[in-house]
């Protein structure tokens, strides 16, 4: 069983989807979420993780340096001995020291084609440009934003979407299935 840490900053719907798929879906008997870490004390996803019986930690990143924050996370992860670190709505760049410690072990989900759009506001970008479709990207993480090697991409059909909310809803529905599927492929290699 692969032990997973999930880093979040907010809502945590992707974290929830991964945890549920470990409990009862495509990642059952393949992976388990052993720790959820948030860089925001009030992240909604912390309660969601607790409700799923997952140990949670919050390390407020606001008033410490990037290096200090990463060091604290590293200490927690070393104690938990995780195999993979998933970024699921984790809105923070990691230092090179951190990403180099876990080569090909840190994986992010980004709601666009990272060759076309990186950083915040991916669904807004798709909506504003009236894209007929967008992509969800699962990729390895380096110290730059949404920059690492692409693992897999899924298409999201946006032709029927009539508002930004609908774009997001369609995208998230794909994210929640696709992240676990992409991980399964990696874990079974």
> Can 176 be counted among the known catalytic residues?
no
Stretch that binds ligand GRF, among 4-12, 30-38, 76-84, 149-157 (CB under 6 A): 4-12
Binding of ligand GRF by 13 (CB under 6 A) = yes
Cβ proximity to ligand GRF: between 92 and 105 the closer is 92
Please give the size of the binding site for ligand GRF, defined by CB under 6 A. 13
Q: How far is the CB of 15 from ligand GRF (least distance, A)?
A: 6
**Binding of ligand GRF by 113 (CB under 6 A):** no
Q: Distance (Å, rounded) from C-alpha 103 to C-alpha 132?
A: 35
Q: Should residue 148 be labelled a site residue for ligand GRF when binding is judged by CB under 6 A?
A: no
Of the candidates 110, 117, 139, 176, the residue annotated as catalytic is 110
Single residue of 33, 54, 88, 156 touching ligand GRF by CB under 6 A: 88
71 versus 186: smaller Cβ distance to ligand GRF:
186
Residue ranges binding ligand GRF (CB under 6 A): 8, 10-14, 45, 88-89, 109-111, 175
């Amino acid at each position: 069983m692969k032990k997973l840490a999930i880093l979040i900053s907010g809502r945590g719907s992707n974290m929830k989807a991964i945890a549920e798929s470990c409990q009862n879906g495509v990642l059952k008997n393949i992976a388990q979420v052993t720790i959820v870490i948030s860089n925001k004390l009030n992240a909604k996803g912390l309660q969601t993780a607790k409700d799923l019986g997952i140990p949670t930690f919050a390390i407020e990143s606001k008033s410490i340096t990037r290096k200090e924050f990463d060091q604290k996370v590293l200490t927690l992860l070393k104690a938990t001995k995780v195999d993979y670190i998933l970024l699921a709505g984790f809105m923070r760049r990691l230092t090179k020291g951190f990403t180099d410690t876990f080569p090909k072990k840190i994986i992010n989900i980004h709601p666009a084609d990272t060759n076309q759009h990186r950083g915040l506001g991916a669904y807004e970008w798709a909506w504003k440009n009236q894209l007929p479709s967008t992509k969800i990207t699962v990729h390895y993480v380096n110290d730059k934003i949404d920059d690492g090697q692409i693992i897999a991409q899924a298409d999201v059909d946006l032709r029927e979407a009539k508002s930004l909310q609908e774009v997001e809803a369609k995208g998230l529905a794909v994210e929640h299935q696709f992240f676990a599927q992409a991980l399964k492929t990696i874990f079974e290699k």
